[in-house]
Structure 1
Amino acid sequence: MIKKDVLEKTSAWPFVEAKKMLRERKAFIEKKGKITLQTGYGPSGLPHIGTFGEVARTSMMVNALNQLTDLPTEIITFSDDMDGLRKVPDNVPNQELLQQNLHKPLTQVPDPFQKFNSFGEHNNEMLKDFLNSFNFKYNFKSSTSLYKAGFFNPTLKIILENYEGIMNIILPTLGKERQKTYSPFLPVCPETGHVLEIHVMEIDQS
């Protein structure tokens, strides 16, 4: 443990931000009894230095928090593997195969390396191997797994119930073209299997 007087004087950014978090979110943290930080990964490509940097910075925050509080901490590394494949990466084989599966959820795109069930699963495994090689401590979460398990269902219902209010906040922050298609939901087309970026036509709350 770092000495208390050193902790009080340090201007190192992880400690500055950790102290700020503990101060500004005190009530929420005490209610939860735990501090959870999250990093995100888009598995449309292989892990890279940016991926490392995000988890490294978050780990620095956790290390600082562990010096400042006895509350348990965790890092969730969340993979957005339900995202649609928007373009074919330059550094993978079988590019024609990926080209044929553009816009499908990454866990529905065949693995061009022919090692896993999907391109998303392949990149998730590469991510975990990459992070494990640096001995990072994290809990991996897959968007696909959580959606299929119904984990997000309560939140999706809340978004539907507050749809207009959410749109009133978000739309002014977007460009005119994006405003035409923006929606907090990205449905998967039952015919093409593509992830759709389209606006909501009607909400049936019956």
Structure 2
Amino acid sequence: MIHQYKLNGYNIVLDVYSGSVHVVDDVAYDIIGMYEGHTKEEITKAILEKYADNPEVTAEEIADILEGVEELKKTGKLFTEDLYADIAANFKMKNNDIKALCLHVAHTCNLTCDYCFASQGKYQGERALMSFEVGKQALDFLIANSGNRKNLEVDFFGGEPLMDWDVVKQLVNYARSVEKQHNKNFRFTLTTNG
């Protein structure tokens, strides 16, 4: 499986299962996007039509790119097979109980430090706070998938989780209200800039 996206003028192709990241030009980006599900002839025709105004895009260049894609596929760096599909599909059947959850309740931070690994707490995305409903669903998932584990751990994380303090308190109260019913004991931590 591949994931393609464009960011800051770069065409990025991520091979999800191998973890390989490729930065490619526009033509290679389009070819990779068509590679599965189309013949070489269909790809060549579509690319020549799309780039008809660019004399540098030729059938020979497209053939070279296709050859490069095939080589990357053979070496396990593009269109890699998911070796864990069976494991993921049988997750519940294999008794892999979940014991902990990290809830990213605040996609923002009050300090917005330039050096922050999380891009001022927003992780290069939009600033946002988790709703109680989403957090409740996460806690319910943890309970449902914790099997016979009694002690469950939840870390409130961000950005700065104290910026969503009311929701953190609501989630702790909710967990406390259902833990006896499910024979669970929640332990909470909170990662904060204080």
Report the TM-score when normalising by structure 1.
0.23
Query: Which of structures 1 and 2 has the bigger CA Rg?
Result: 2
- Structure in which a larger fraction of residues adopt helix: 1
Report the TM-score when normalising by structure 2.
0.24
